[in-house]
Amino acid sequence: MTQQRLQTSDAACEERANLSPAQASVELTSTGYVVAQSVSAVACKVAGKVKAQHVRQGAKVKAGDVLLEIDASDHNAAIATAASQSAAARARIMTARATVSETEQQAKRALSLAQEGIGPKGTADDLQARADSLKEQVKASEAEARAADALVSALRVNLGNYTVTAPISGTVVNKPPEVGEFVGPQPAGVAIDMGGVQIADFTTLQVETDVAESRLSQVKMGGPAEIVLDAFPSKRFRGKAVEITPKVNRTKATLTVKVAF
């Protein structure tokens, strides 16, 4: 069976002195890089100073592990303020309802006296109008309380963004922000090193190599391949071609072939 051969060395060719029969059947030699296929760049969703750092460069983490904690003192103060506004609105509701009940009773008594000819009917009408106005105030206070409750809920949900967790299991490959360092959402095009954590799952390592379009027919999907790493030149690792990216590099007239270990 023929083999495909891939190298991560920059050399165009290698020594052929001690080739095995399998190695002698190499159809294609190509150079490339070992790349983790599962990589996550974890950026902070909110701006603030790092309160606690739970990982270091090179640390192994599991999905859900806490990476960083952002100081949420100002955010907690905003939650407390919104909660107090909600409590004040509810207090106004209770007061307004009590006043409505009292005013309606006064209006009923005034109307009864007016019907008996003891008091003026205008007094009853004024009291009823005031009761109607107070009912509208109750509705306004209820709306204010609902808005304050919604703000408290939104702020509490956003409080979770002050704790940065790992979305995948893997290894931290960059230097995380230090305690006291200011971090925030990353603009487009800014490196994750500017305030986030990059995690790579090294169990998903594959060799990505550029193969000339004219030699693409020599790549057999699922066929055996041999991988030689610069770090271990005396070792040969078994692999197989698993994917050919559909996009062609027009400048070099190549396609990227992925080879799994």
For the stretch 107-123, pLDDT in tens is 777 777 777 777 677 77
CA 75 to chain centre: 19
At 63, the pLDDT band (50, 70, 90 cuts) reads: very high
**74 token code pair:** 């100002």
For the stretch 170-206, pLDDT in tens is 999 999 999 999 888 866 555 455 568 999 999 999 9
Q: Which residue has the higher pLDDT, 70 or 19?
A: 70
Q: Which residue has the higher pLDDT, 208 or 189?
A: 208
**Which pLDDT does position 15 carry in this prediction?**
36
Instruction: Render 199-219 in DSSP notation, one character per residue.
Output: EEEEEEEEEEEEEEGGGGGG-
The length of the chain is 261
Mean pLDDT, rounded, of the chain: 81
Mean pLDDT over 10-27 rounds to 44
**Which pLDDT does position 56 carry in this prediction?**
93
**Which pLDDT does position 171 carry in this prediction?**
95
CA distance 151 to 128: 35
Mean pLDDT over 220-233 rounds to 87
pLDDT of 12 strictly over 50 = no
Count other Cβ atoms within 10 Å, centred on residue 151.
17
**57 token code pair:** 């460069």
**Which pLDDT does position 4 carry in this prediction?**
47
pLDDT of 67 strictly over 90 = yes
